Amino acid sequence: MDFDLTPDQQALVRMVAGFARDHVAPAQAEMERDNRFPIKAWAAWSDLGMAGAMIPEAHGGSGLDSLSYLLCVEELAATSQTFTQIWQIHSLVSLLIADLGTPEQQAALLPDLAAGRKTPAFALTEPGAGSDAAAIRTRADRQPDGGWRLNGTKTFITNTGSDISDGTVVFAVTGQRPGGRPAITAFHVPRDTPGFSWGPPLPKMAWHGLHTRELALADVRLRADQQLGPEGGAFSAALRSLTLGRIGLAALACGLARACRDLSLDYALQRQQFGKPIAAFQLTQAKLADMAAHHDAMCHMTHHAAWLHATGRECQAAASMAKLVTSRLAASIARDAMLIHGGSGYMTDTPANRLFREAQVLEIGEGTTEIQQIILARHMGCPA
Answer whether 153's CB lies under 8 Å from 127's CB: yes
Answer whether 231's CB lies under 8 Å from 183's CB: yes
Active-site hit among 75, 126, 363, 366: 366
User: What is the rounded distance in angstroms from the CA atom of residue 114 to the CA atom of residue 7?
Assistant: 24
Task: Based on DSSP, count helices (H) and strands (E) in the chain, helices before strands.
Answer: 12, 10
Answer whether 341's CB lies under 8 Å from 327's CB: no
> Is the Cα dihedral 240, 364, 300, 79 positive or negative?
positive
366 is catalytic: yes
In this structure, which long-range contacts are made by residues 352-356, counting pairs with CB atoms below 8 Å and at least 24 apart in sequence? 352/260, 352/263, 352/264, 352/267, 354/32, 354/206, 355/81, 355/256, 355/259, 355/260, 355/263
User: What is the rounded distance in angstroms from the CA atom of residue 64 to the CA atom of residue 48?
Assistant: 13
What is the b/e burial string over 20-54, where b = at least 16 CB atoms within 10 angstroms of the residue's CB? Answer: beebbeebbeebbeebebbeebbebbbeebbbbbb
Q: Which residues are catalytic?
A: 366
